Structure 1
Amino acid sequence: MDLRIQRAVVSNLRTRSRVLEIGPFVAGLDPDTTSPYLNYASPVPGAPITEADVTALIGAFRSAGRKPRFEYVCSSAPELEALLLAAGFTIEARHQYLICTPQSLTACPVPEGLRLVEPGTDPDRAAMAAAVGEAFGESWATDADVARIRRGQDRGGIALAAFTDGGECAGGGQAGPPQDRLSEVGGIGVREPFRKRGLAAAITAEVAHRMFARGLEIAWLEAGSDDSWRVYERVGFVPAGHRLYISLG
């Protein structure tokens, strides 16, 4: 499973607006933001890695005006962490990732007064981006956020927003474009007034359900907190491996 997830991560990076192929690394860059969470590299599974490769990666990121950063499944490149630490990188986090299959998925009811829809217009995408941004401590959504959601949908990914009967967006979530019949679920966010009602679980379950209805075999994600971990376990996700987040200041 580790290698399958890592191969999918690398394949998705190769679909970014700007792609850098640096030795055994693939980097995906976003021209609209310098956010390190949208600009990072990952190793090609099984490719040999040297100190010179790391130096070249650092130079390429610096030239692009981006912070050198990696996200990857730990077992896919076991020698990489030591090379990065020797080059001055600092570990941000080491997380377990979880997977769900059609057999393990548990349906979760949508709270009363809310409906889940795939946004088909830019105003609805903007409302979703703003609601999810608010859930994560941001207070606005940019045109680039809207375009990013639209591009994901155009490439086969899923965006799902929760709206009240009055048209207010309560939250949302997404699944990335499929690779090797699997997809990453992410950005599950619910605004404060709509929490503690099971909405996050309902969004997560419905995103996964729609993925599986399109023929995908595995949904995977990471939990950012104990609360989200409990939500995802309720939906049917189980631990499967570890990923490393590491960057150079």
Structure 2
Amino acid sequence: MDKQVQNFAVANLRRRPDVVETGGFVAGFAADTDSPYLNYATPLPGTAPTPADVAALVGAFRERGLLPRLEFAPQAAPLVAGALRAAGFATEAVHEYLVCTPHTYTAPLPGGSHPRVETPTTDAEFRALDAALAEAFGGAFAASAEGAARLRRLGEDGGEVRFVRAGDGGCAGGATCSPPAEDTAELAGVGTRPAHRRRGVAAAVTAALTAAIFERGAGSVWLESSGAGSRGTYTRVGYRPGGTRLYVSLPD
């Protein structure tokens, strides 16, 4: 699965409007933000970068005033991590990724009090979802018009976006899923506002998005798990351990 996830990462970055391919790396840049989480690179599976290759990649980031940063499945490109560390890159995090297939997927049982999952369509709904995710992730990013617009574009460009409406008409939480590539798709940004947690919001949107991607014919969906609590939510939907993803960046 590591190679498939890595091939997906390459294909997903190649969808960006500003893409640089150099020395076995693909870098994708977002025009509307300097966030390191939206401006990063990934290696081609099996690449063996030279110091010159790494320097050229760093230059693509530096000329844009951005932090050189990569995300990748290290087992799919085993020579990359060492080359990056030799150039001064430091590890930000190592996350486990989980994979769901139509065989392992567990749909919510009919009946009960499951939260109602919706697809945002109005500007107000996209703004509410963006604000909810900003709150859910503890200020890692600020709610913004650009963030709401990115959520809308994701849906328009073939991805899936879902949310659960709060009692006040706002948003309790939600998540997104990329357009499929390489017979898989990445489910990301699963977040619930603190006041609405432990009510099944994360499980409901995860199940709805996963089902939507399977209905489109993808053979799997994967996501990253960053904590024991969230991992339990995902395993109940049918996600199983798949491997790890490495995050590295080059300090100034």
**Within 1, Cα distance between the matches of 2:76 and 2:182?**
17
Which residue in the other structure is 2:129 paired with? 128
CA distance in 1 between partners of 2:115 and 2:234 (Å) = 20
1:118/1:236 Cα in 2 relative to 1: closer, same or farther (>3 Å)?
same
Q: CA deviation at 1:47?
A: 3.1
Matched residue of 1:102: which SS?
A: coil
Q: Secondary structure at the match of 1:97?
A: strand
Pairing 1:111-126 to 2, within 5 Å after superposition? 112=113, 114-126=115-127
Amino acid across the alignment from 1:227: G
- The offset of 1:168, in angstroms, is 2.2
**What's the offset of the Cα at 1:140?**
4.8
Secondary structure of the structure 2 residue equivalent to 1:182? coil
Whether the aligned pair in 1 keeps the contact of 2:95 and 2:224 (CA below 8 Å) is: yes
Name the Cα RMSD after superposition.
1.7
Distance 2:122 2:112 in 1: 24
Amino acid at match of 1:224: S
Give 4+ residue runs of structure 1 displaced > 6 Å after superposition.
none
Q: Matches of 2:95 and 2:128 in 1, distance apart? A: 30
Task: Quote the offset at 1:198 in angstroms.
Answer: 1.7
Structure 1 position 19 matched with structure 2 position 19: yes
Q: In structure 2, the residue corresponding to 1:242 is in which secondary structure?
A: strand
Q: Is the 8 A contact 2:47 2:80 kept in 1?
A: no
CA distance in 1, matches of 2:212, 2:166: 21
SS of corresponding position for 1:31: coil
Measured after TM superposition, the shift of residue 111 of structure 1 is 7.7
* Structure 1 stretch displaced more, 164-173 or 75-84: 164-173
1:185 aligned residue: 187
The aligned counterpart of 1:241 is 243
Aligned to 1:104: 104
- Per the TM alignment, residue 2 of structure 1 is displaced from its structure 2 partner at its CA by 1.1
Q: How far 1:31 sits from its partner (Å)?
A: 1.4
Q: Is the 8 A contact 1:113 1:164 kept in 2?
A: no
CA-to-aligned-CA distance 1:187-242 (integer Å, 9 cap, x gap): 00001111112221111111101111111110000111111111111111001111
> What is the TM-score with the length of structure 1 in the denominator?
0.95
Residue 222 of structure 2: aligned partner: 220
Gaps of 5+ in 1: none
Q: What residue number does 1:76 align with? A: 76
- The letter for the 2-side match of 1:209 is A
Partner of 1:168: 170
Letter matched to residue 237 of structure 2: V
Contact 2:46–2:79 (CA under 8 A) maintained in structure 1 = no
* Aligned positions of 1:149-168 closer than 5 A: 149-164=151-166, 166-168=168-170
Identity of counterpart residues, as a percentage? 45
User: Distance between the aligned counterparts of 1:173 and 1:92, measured in 2?
Assistant: 23
Partner residue, 2:47: 47
Distance (Å, rounded) in 1 between the aligned partners of 2:115 and 2:211: 18
In structure 2, give the amino acid aligned to 1:129. Answer: D
Task: Give 5+ residue unaligned stretches, structure 2.
Answer: none
**Is the 8 Å Cα contact of residues 22 and 53 (structure 2) preserved in structure 1?**
yes
In structure 2, what residue type is equivalent to 1:35?
A: S
